[in-house]
Amino acid sequence: MMADWMSLKWLLWISLYLILGVFVPWAASLAWADQHGSSLRPRPKQLFERGELGLISLVLGISVIWDLLQSHYMPQTRALGSVLLALSGTMAAAVWIESYCRNATGMHNSPERAWRDSRNLAFLVFSMAVVIEILLDRFAKVAAS
């Protein structure tokens, strides 16, 4: 089995999530500020400082789980991969939930910490998605041969 550039299609697929989930909302916020004549120039860190990246990574995690469940891996492998992805995605989304609850109840909330936690957990889900998509691609080739 040789590596070919067609194997890198997962990179394009995952970058769609990054573009639509991170870049488009950021660009839309800049466009809104421009349209309303505001001096607001939020950076991605400010835009996602309540842990919203966790929600994006949960969406990515769900679609990778779907791909995994459609694959020809053995049920044990599919179950294990799905549970791990679901756990990581849920913990990433939990950062946003904690941040929201702290804000809503007036408890101390650190946007810096919420941003750091959600960024690291989103990085985890994205990198897991990359590896699982590569493994799925390899397995599809083996099953087809």
Partner 1 sequence: MSAPAPTLAKVPSRTVTVRLADPAFTVACLSLVFAFLLVFFPVSFARIIQDRWLHGNLTVAIMVITLSIDACLYLRIAYRLAAKPTVLAAVCLGSLPVMVGLGLSFCLQGAVAYTLSGDLPNLQGRVGEEILAHTYLGLVSGIFLPFLALRLLQQFKAARSNRETESPLRKTASASSY
Nearer to partner 1, 30 or 137 (CB): 137
Q: Of residues 28, 80, 97, 101, which one binds partner 1 by CB under 8 A?
A: 80
Interface with partner 1, residue 123, by CB under 8 A: yes
Single-letter residue type at 97: I
3-state helix, strand, coil in the chain (%, to 5): 80, 0, 20
> Tokens 């697929």 sit at which residue?
13
Interface with partner 1, residue 105, by CB under 8 A: no
Q: Of residues 84, 86, 100, 102, which one binds partner 1 by CB under 8 A?
A: 84
CA quadruple 131, 63, 83, 102: dihedral positive or negative? positive
Interface with partner 1, residue 116, by CB under 8 A: yes
Interface with partner 1, residue 87, by CB under 8 A: yes
Interface with partner 1, residue 75, by CB under 8 A: yes
> Tokens 């791909």 sit at which residue?
67
Render the burial of 45-54: b for 16+ CB within 10 Å, e for the rest: eebbbbbbbb
Residue 27, token pair as written in the block = 């660009």
Q: Which residues in this chain contact partner 1 in the complex, by CB under 8 A?
A: 1-3, 7-8, 73-77, 80-81, 84, 87-88, 91, 113, 116-117, 119-121, 123-124, 126-128, 130-131, 134-135, 138-139, 142-143, 145
